Amino acid sequence: MSGVNKNIVILISGSGSNMAAIVETSLKQRWQARFGARVVAVISNKVGAQGLAWAEEQGIATHTLDHTRFSSREAFDAALMAEIDRHEPTLVVLAGFMRILTPGLVQHFEGRLVNIHPSLLPAFTGLKTHQRAIDAGCRFAGATVHRVTSELDHGQILDQAVVPVLPGDTAEALAARVLTQEHLIYPRALERLLNPA
């Protein structure tokens, strides 16, 4: 199994904390030796995204594609597809990539595209998940790793973490607790995909 190269490309828009958790776990758990897998590139749609500097420090190739410079979503996604394809990815990992992808891009990477969402899907797809969970009186919130389909925040669930909603919780406090779990379940889900039983 380890003779096969399994390239992972990660897409980010901000600090890239999930990206960093994946990279650190891949090194600690020796993904390259065990599965032939490594993170080969980090791509962002935001110029100066914090996570890019961290990835560069780890010796990972980085690239910025500023979505505001493209005339349409389709034009941006076509350029993004071409940039991702240069790295011949086994997995394309969305880690805080704040763009809704076109059906063409989703179809192009079908079966290889993975996302993490800060709710217990199928509950609270879309944005402002933590505040919506609090407003709904939920006793539990969490995060979900799932395959990406053309329907937003749907697709096969690969892993989930449950986090209690505490009395007096704010969206920010809940988000911070959920994020610590995201950093655990995202690498775990990817490891399972790289090494199916």
Residue 117 annotated in active site: yes
Candidates 108, 117, 130, 183; catalytic one: 117
The answer to whether the beta carbons of residues 147 and 190 sit under 8 Å apart is no
Which residues face 92 on adjacent strands? Answer: 9, 113
Which residues face 100 on adjacent strands? Answer: none
* Alpha-carbon distance values, 45 to 94, 123, 132, 145, 153 (Å): 12, 27, 27, 21, 20
Residues with catalytic function: 117
